[in-house]
Structure 1
């Protein structure tokens, strides 16, 4: 049985990855600051307390594992862009230096595969309407995007001679059920609409947490020549507030006015052809509709 260490395994995205791996027969160890509830996953997992800190005992946590998925990220609660808060130095120390030390420890431990969860923010703000393709020049405009891109570029070099195959996934906004005891990302948006409050027009690219997890498993199981040192976009739908709240209205019978449709022609959609060639298939609009309906009625 393949043993995988998932950093941040109880987080908003990490928990989907853990359940995906468990479902497909992997043995999973997770790390984090606090031990999750035993009922948080579909099967038992081993927990190792491990802060995202350059002084953390990464080698000890990796002991006995065959693969690594690095989903942990240190930031101000509820914020990614702007997640550095008032501590830019600490933000880079935790998310850049600690990441490099963790992946280096994985290489020294003889691991064969590692996946790094990067972000759409690595692109920055390309020309309006430009499609985001992995080969285009990236110019991040936030510390969040800059630290992700810096990690990608340094991890790419590990594929040359270390024996560790490292793959980076540039993930867009993730939706899905909330962490136990927490709120899902659209809670306030849905509540404002149902209360008759005005809602701004907006659109953005989205992907379900299960599809992010599927992408992780896809690259872990792909031929190493197809994924070594590569970056893959992970995105599914361009979602508009009008479309999203229309599903809420249909699910609840609410007849409050919907926000105007957004002119999406200038939005930067992510191209996922590269990942789809490996066999990845996201859930699309049907999954969005069923998930939103479930979130509203929960």
Structure 2
């Protein structure tokens, strides 16, 4: 059974990755700030308390691990861009230096692979109608995106035959939340149901289960195919109007829908991931996932 350490495994995206790896037969250790409830995951998961920027020695868990997945981010709740609040220096120290320290510990402990969850925000230009390849020069437009880009470079420099690394540039992630948690569209649904005016918007999206599958592939493919590489991970562009139209129908609400978003959303080319037999759920998975989210609203 492969042993995998995941920092940030109790977060929205991290939980979905944990579940995918559990289903693939991994033993999981989660590093996090707060102990999860016993029924938070579908199977037992070891928890180790710790956070980015903490001076903690994790050798005892890394020395028995095959893989490390860095899914943690220290930020103001609900904010990625702008998540530094009024402490940009602390944000950079915790998230860049903190990540580097964990990667170094993992490599020193002879962990075989390390995966970093990056973000398509590193490309910048979200509404220029571009189609980004991994070879595109990053143009981060905020501190969050810059830290993601710099962390990619830190991990890439550590790549070696004994320590295979990869960074996944994720589109915004959707999917169901864990027990007692909220998903990224929770506020949008509540605002619409309360009759608030919703501004038009659209963005790239990928389901968290598909992110989990991408991570699983990285941890099982030949190490040479990782090679310190960057991999784009997205499914499709989703417009708020389309999502809320389904919500409107599901709950019988007649509040006004937002207009269609009228700007060209930049997307990512995912041929590298698809070349590793990665596939996304598309509109079918979106519809099924939304129905699950809508049921929770009715309960």
Structure 1 residue 121, shift from structure 2 partner: 1.4
- Aligned with 2:116: secondary structure? strand
In 1, the alpha carbon distance for the partners of 2:77 and 2:192 equals 24
Q: Give RMSD over aligned pairs.
A: 1.5
Structure 1 residue 175, shift from structure 2 partner: 1.0
In 2, the alpha carbon distance for the partners of 1:250 and 1:271 equals 33
Q: Determine the structure 2 residue equivalent to 1:276.
A: 274
Q: What TM-score do the two structures reach when normalised by structure 2?
A: 0.95
Q: Does the 8 Å CA contact 1:190/1:296 hold for their aligned counterparts?
A: no
Pick closer, same or farther for the CA change 1:179–1:156 going to 2, 3 Å: same
In 1, the alpha carbon distance for the partners of 2:127 and 2:295 equals 39
> Is the aligned partner of 1:220 residue 2:219?
yes
In 2, the alpha carbon distance for the partners of 1:284 and 1:167 equals 24
Q: Determine the structure 2 residue equivalent to 1:239.
A: 238
Q: Determine the structure 2 residue equivalent to 1:177.
A: 176
- Aligned with 1:114: secondary structure? strand
Q: Does the 8 Å CA contact 1:54/1:97 hold for their aligned counterparts?
A: no
> Is the aligned partner of 1:106 residue 2:68?
no
Which consecutive segments of 4 or more residues in structure 1 shift more than 4 A? Answer: none
Q: Which digits, 9 at most, give the CA deviation of each residue in 1:12-57, with x for residues without a partner?
A: 1111111111111111111101110011111101111111115221
Structure 1 residue 256, shift from structure 2 partner: 2.9
Q: Determine the structure 1 residue equivalent to 2:33.
A: 33
> Is the aligned partner of 1:3 residue 2:9?
no
In 2, the alpha carbon distance for the partners of 1:12 and 1:188 equals 15
Q: Determine the structure 1 residue equivalent to 2:56.
A: 56
In 2, the alpha carbon distance for the partners of 1:125 and 1:115 equals 25
- Aligned with 1:68: secondary structure? strand
Q: Determine the structure 1 residue equivalent to 2:256.
A: 257
Q: Which digits, 9 at most, give the CA deviation of each residue in 1:109-134, with x for residues without a partner?
A: 11111111111111122671111211
In 2, the alpha carbon distance for the partners of 1:126 and 1:42 equals 36
Q: Which runs of 5+ in 2 are unaligned?
A: none
In 2, the alpha carbon distance for the partners of 1:243 and 1:154 equals 39
- Aligned with 1:6: secondary structure? strand
In 1, the alpha carbon distance for the partners of 2:173 and 2:272 equals 19
Q: Does the 8 Å CA contact 1:242/1:258 hold for their aligned counterparts?
A: yes
Q: How does 1:76-225 map to 2 (within 5 A)?
A: 76-125=76-125, 128-160=128-160, 163-225=162-224
Q: Does the 8 Å CA contact 1:112/1:164 hold for their aligned counterparts?
A: yes
